[in-house]
């Protein structure tokens, strides 16, 4: 297909070069300009990868056919987009947060994560659910100048013109002022030969990264003129030391296992928690368990999970040693748990409006504000941690984990359709290895075949 836009003629068909490689081309003024990979349509990219031997044709067909998002939306959310990557979207049930019961949408490839969250939510319910306090929602921007000849003089100059910084910030993003947000605080400091302007911004219902970057760049440009030098950088910081705090107090009976009374399990949970504060290897895995829930829910909300995880781990290390984000104690009657975690989230902006499943996640979880989202995710992280610790100090995590993992093992062994359920069931009472799964699948198929043969004989 050929098209003309203005004086430019386009050829939209794949064109091959002398070696036969596809160089889908734009004809411009008689010249062939090979299109860059990101400029190709999705179909052209798939065609090119098949042609160059990087992608099998049936894989290309799968990628072409498999889409949930409208193509135009997917093309704008991802660069070099080939397809979409579906993951299960499930919910943790009945998580009571500040007196309101929530269903929390979670996206992930590990079934035990959602199961543990629901289990943790059920235990927390025995204590009236999770109470969460959220901090003021602000994001910090940094404008940094390097190699400043007289840093103290620069700090004095910038501080004396703080009003201009407020004006520049308002001018750069007037709509956020209209919504009641915008710049809230300016701090200027010299750090060696660097000068840093710290801008604390209220992004209202948004996560705020782009908003803060816009304001920071405007301030950088203006201050650069005062200092007669360009800023080194102007961008938000993903760091925050103002955490969301989730707490729970549960009667110990609610954490009893088949073989251990609740008071013993609670004491063992508290001991495991204490060990995390003196052992970074344990602290890291403890926090991974928390992030199992928080990241899965962040993805379901269409939010930036990299921003969330970076901030969380930086916070965990803020004392200089990597520490657990939760602390559990017991007095023998109640088990007390607390999670402190920063959560940079938004309920508008970014990809939230473009992803229908993110909108559904908000409706499922009754999430209307950033504070709602923060409260739900912090509560989820806390109960996720509770379920993991109880399993760890009780029956161990492998029995429950591997029981749920059996489905994935059945698929990996080659089971399809109704075979998956049948094989998953058989794997519950035997070794959960790929070799054993393949043996059982072969047996299942042989049994089915002989049953069919018997039926034919009867007919």
175 near ligand NDP, rule: CB under 6 A: yes
Which one of residues 129, 262, 346, 365 is an interface residue with ligand NDP (CB under 6 A)? 346
x-or-dash pattern for ligand NDP, window 54-83, by CB under 6 A? ------------------------------
206 near ligand NDP, rule: CB under 6 A: yes
Active site residue 457: no
Which one of residues 176, 231, 325, 367 is an interface residue with ligand NDP (CB under 6 A)? 176
**Is the Cβ of residue 220 or residue 248 nearer to ligand NDP in the bound state?**
220
**Is the Cβ of residue 214 or residue 285 nearer to ligand NDP in the bound state?**
214
Active site residue 110: yes
Active site residue 288: yes
311 near ligand NDP, rule: CB under 6 A: no
What is the distance between the alpha carbons of residues 132 and 223, in angstroms, rounded to a whole number?
40
Query: Which two three-digit tokens encode residue 21?
Result: 């490689």
**Is the Cβ of residue 10 or residue 166 nearer to ligand NDP in the bound state?**
166
**Is the Cβ of residue 172 or residue 378 nearer to ligand NDP in the bound state?**
172
Asked if 165 and 219 count as a contact pair (C-beta separation under 8 A), the reply is yes
Of the candidates 288, 366, 425, 448, the residue annotated as catalytic is: 288
Alpha-carbon distances of 17 from 11, 21, 264, 345, rounded to whole Å = 14, 5, 73, 47
Residue range at the interface with ligand NDP (CB under 6 A); choices 200-208, 399-407, 416-424, 440-448:
200-208
Q: In angstroms, how far is the first alpha carbon of the chain from the final one?
A: 58
Q: Which residue has the tokens 């657990």?
A: 324
358 near ligand NDP, rule: CB under 6 A: no
Query: Which two three-digit tokens encode residue 179?
Result: 């919504």
What is the distance between the alpha carbons of residues 293 and 112, in angstroms, rounded to a whole number?
11
Residue range at the interface with ligand NDP (CB under 6 A); choices 175-183, 274-282, 314-322, 371-379:
175-183
User: Least separation, in Å, of the C-beta of 354 and ligand NDP?
Assistant: 10
User: Least separation, in Å, of the C-beta of 180 and ligand NDP?
Assistant: 9
350 near ligand NDP, rule: CB under 6 A: yes
**Is the Cβ of residue 238 or residue 385 nearer to ligand NDP in the bound state?**
238
Give me the residues paired with residue 250 across strands: 335
368 near ligand NDP, rule: CB under 6 A: no
Which one of residues 202, 295, 304, 419 is an interface residue with ligand NDP (CB under 6 A)? 304
Query: Which two three-digit tokens encode residue 251?
Result: 């009667």
Asked if 330 and 273 count as a contact pair (C-beta separation under 8 A), the reply is no
Asked if 438 and 446 count as a contact pair (C-beta separation under 8 A), the reply is no
- Report the 10 Å Cβ neighbour count for 92: 30
Helices then strands (H, E): number in the chain? 16, 14
Active site residue 61: no
Q: Which of 84, 53, 90 is nearest to 70 (CA)?
A: 84
**Is the Cβ of residue 301 or residue 388 nearer to ligand NDP in the bound state?**
301
Which one of residues 210, 263, 309, 338 is an interface residue with ligand NDP (CB under 6 A)? 210
Residue range at the interface with ligand NDP (CB under 6 A); choices 106-114, 245-253, 329-337, 342-350:
342-350
Residue 221: its H or E element: helix 209-227
Residue range at the interface with ligand NDP (CB under 6 A); choices 291-299, 319-327, 341-349, 357-365:
341-349
- Report the 10 Å Cβ neighbour count for 277: 14
- Close Cβ partners of 317 (under 8 Å, ≥ 6 residues apart): 323
How many residues sit close enough to ligand NDP to count as binding (CB under 6 A)? 22
Tell me the backbone φ, ψ of residue 313, rounded to 5 degrees. -70, -35
Query: What is the DSSP secondary-structure string of 229-284?
Result: S--SEEEEE------EEEEEEEEGGGG--SSS-HHHHHHHHHHHHHHHTT-HHHHH
**Is the Cβ of residue 200 or residue 422 nearer to ligand NDP in the bound state?**
200
Q: By the criterion CB under 6 A, which residues form the site for ligand NDP?
A: 175-176, 179, 203-211, 213, 236, 238, 304, 307, 346, 348-351
Which residues are part of the catalytic machinery? 110, 288, 304, 401
């Amino acid at each position: 297909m050929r098209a003309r836009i203005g004086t430019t003629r386009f050829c939209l068909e794949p064109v091959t070069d002398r070696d036969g490689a596809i160089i889908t081309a734009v004809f411009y003024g008689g010249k062939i300009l090979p299109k860059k990979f990101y400029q190709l349509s999705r179909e052209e990219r798939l065609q090119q990868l098949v042609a160059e031997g990087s992608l099998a044709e049936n894989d290309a067909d799968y990628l072409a056919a498999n889409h949930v998002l409208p193509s135009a939306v997917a093309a704008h959310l991802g660069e070099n987009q080939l397809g979409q990557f579906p993951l299960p979207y499930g919910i943790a049930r009945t998580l009571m947060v500040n007196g309101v019961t929530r269903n929390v949408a979670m996206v992930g490839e590990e079934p035990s994560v959602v199961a543990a969250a629901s289990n943790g939510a059920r235990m927390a319910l025995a204590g009236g659910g999770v109470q969460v306090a959220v901090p003021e929602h602000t994001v910090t921007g940094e404008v940094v100048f390097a190699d400043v000849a007289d840093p103290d003089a620069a700090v004095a100059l910038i501080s004396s013109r703080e009003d201009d910084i407020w004006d520049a910030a308002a001018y750069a993003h007037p709509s956020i002022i209209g919504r009641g947000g915008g710049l809230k605080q300016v701090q200027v400091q010299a750090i060696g030969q660097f000068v840093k302007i710290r801008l604390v911004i209220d992004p209202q219902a948004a996560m705020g990264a782009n908003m803060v970057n816009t304001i920071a760049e405007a301030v950088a440009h203006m201050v650069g003129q005062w200092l007669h030098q360009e800023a080194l950088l102007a961008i938000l910081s993903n760091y925050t030391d103002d955490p969301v705090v989730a707490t729970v107090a549960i009667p110990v009976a609610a954490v009893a296992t088949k073989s251990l009374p609740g008071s013993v399990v609670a004491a063992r949970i508290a001991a495991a928690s204490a060990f995390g504060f003196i052992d970074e290897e344990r602290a890291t895995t403890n926090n991974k368990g928390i992030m199992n829930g928080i990241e899965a829910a962040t993805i379901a909300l269409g939010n930036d999970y990299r921003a969330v995880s970076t901030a969380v781990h930086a916070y965990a290390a803020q004392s200089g040693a990597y520490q657990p984000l939760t602390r559990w104690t017991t007095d023998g009657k109640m088990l007390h748990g607390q999670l402190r975690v920063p959560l940079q989230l938004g309920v508008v902006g970014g990809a939230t409006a473009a992803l229908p499943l993110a909108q559904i996640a908000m409706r499922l979880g009754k999430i209307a504000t950033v504070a709602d989202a923060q409260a739900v995710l912090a509560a989820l992280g806390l109960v996720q941690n509770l379920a993991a610790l109880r399993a760890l100090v009780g029956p161990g995590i492998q029995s429950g984990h591997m029981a749920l993992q059996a489905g994935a093992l059945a698929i990996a062994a080659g089971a399809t359709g109704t075979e998956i359920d049948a094989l998953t069931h058989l794997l519950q009472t035997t070794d959960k290895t790929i070799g054993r799964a393949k043996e059982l699948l072969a047996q299942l198929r042989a049994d089915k075949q002989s049953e069919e043969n018997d039926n034919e004989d009867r007919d």
